[in-house]
Amino acid sequence: MNLNKIIKLKNLRDQKLDMRKNKEEYIFYNKNGNVFIGLATIMVFLLIIMSIIFLNVSNDSNQINNDAIDSNSFNYMIQDYNRNIPVLGKDIMGKIANDTIHNYVPCSDSPNTIKKRLQEKLDEKNEEIGNNNNIMMESEVLSVYNGNNPYHVNIKTHIHGKKGNLEYDEVIESVVKIEGLKDPLPFLMCKNKPNLSENGTKIIYHDSLEAYFIENNLLNPYAYNNASSPLIIKKCPYDPYEHHGDGHTLKNCIDNGYYHESADGACYLCRLEGKGVCNHYGLETFIVPNKVNELNFRSISSSDHVIFNDHYPGENLGFYKNGSIYEILFLDDSHRAKYGVEHLSYI
């Protein structure tokens, strides 16, 4: 063999060796590749499953969050709705009182009138809520009535609300606090001579109460010429009432125009109807005669239910003196005892 032939044979052998080596490597890689593809498939599969689980969990928690938000906003809306009922009720009562005072015409069947007007307001509000919040609201005002507290008027309402699968259905009792409302009774009692005036806090009767006295043939009409009484319902803080005899308490009470609880006095609902007295537990206030410089005369006792209904007399009580001028009430024995002012008599 010559050298060239030997070299060729060597190259050939090397090529064969390379081919075998490549084949082995190829087989090796192929085996590893299969393992890799298998692993990758499992990984992708696991990844898809995990993604599905994650998305489900995430959707569920979104749903839970959305439900919680829905439930919170629904509950808030209902609470807000319920809180608004006494506000609307008071507003309606204030308007009725204003109309009554302005026109000298009593409200007929005040609980029913308030009930109807409140129902109208709630119907409007329900429609508004339905349009804006996609909540179905229904409500029915069941009754408007006096409670045990004469400074409160109670309202009973059936409320039904529905949004999706959220639902509310309750009969609720709301309390309207009448403090701050105007007292229409004096205007209605003196409607035959309707020239009373008010200054925002007090009613001045001019000669209208005197005319009422003459009309009803009551004792000493002139004593109440230019009398005054409170315009706004305010609860007297001097409780127990017997303390009105301490120092200048009675004068402070009268200057501030306070009202007192009274079984004989008219409740607020009946005051709107122009009734000076009623069977409900009610209120009384003082109607204060004009100041005088002598105390030697009598007239009807100065509690408003006495002047506007019971018509019994009281003795002159000078409760404050400035120079020779007295500020006075006329008070019967039982009212003197109620307010603890027996010792103030004839000062």
> Which residues form the interface with Zn ion (CB under 5 A)?
236, 238, 253, 258, 267, 270, 278, 280
- 157 near 140, Cβ under 8 Å? yes
Nearer to Zn ion, 163 or 338 (CB): 338
Got the DSSP string for 261-327? EESSSPPHHHHHTT-S--SS-EEE-BPBPPPBS-----EE-SBHHIIIII--EEEEEEEEEETTEEE
List residues bridging with 138 in a β-sheet. 160
Q: How far is the CB of 311 from Zn ion (least distance, A)?
A: 19
Nearer to Zn ion, 101 or 267 (CB): 267
Q: How far is the CB of 305 from Zn ion (least distance, A)?
A: 11
Nearer to Zn ion, 159 or 231 (CB): 231
Q: Which amino acid is at 52?
A: I
List residues bridging with 156 in a β-sheet. 143, 173
Q: How far is the CB of 307 from Zn ion (least distance, A)?
A: 17
CA distance 78 to 137: 9
Q: How far is the CB of 325 from Zn ion (least distance, A)?
A: 22
Q: Which residue has the tokens 């009535």?
A: 145
Nearer to Zn ion, 210 or 304 (CB): 304
Q: How far is the CB of 306 from Zn ion (least distance, A)?
A: 16
Nearer to Zn ion, 90 or 234 (CB): 234
Length of the chain: 347
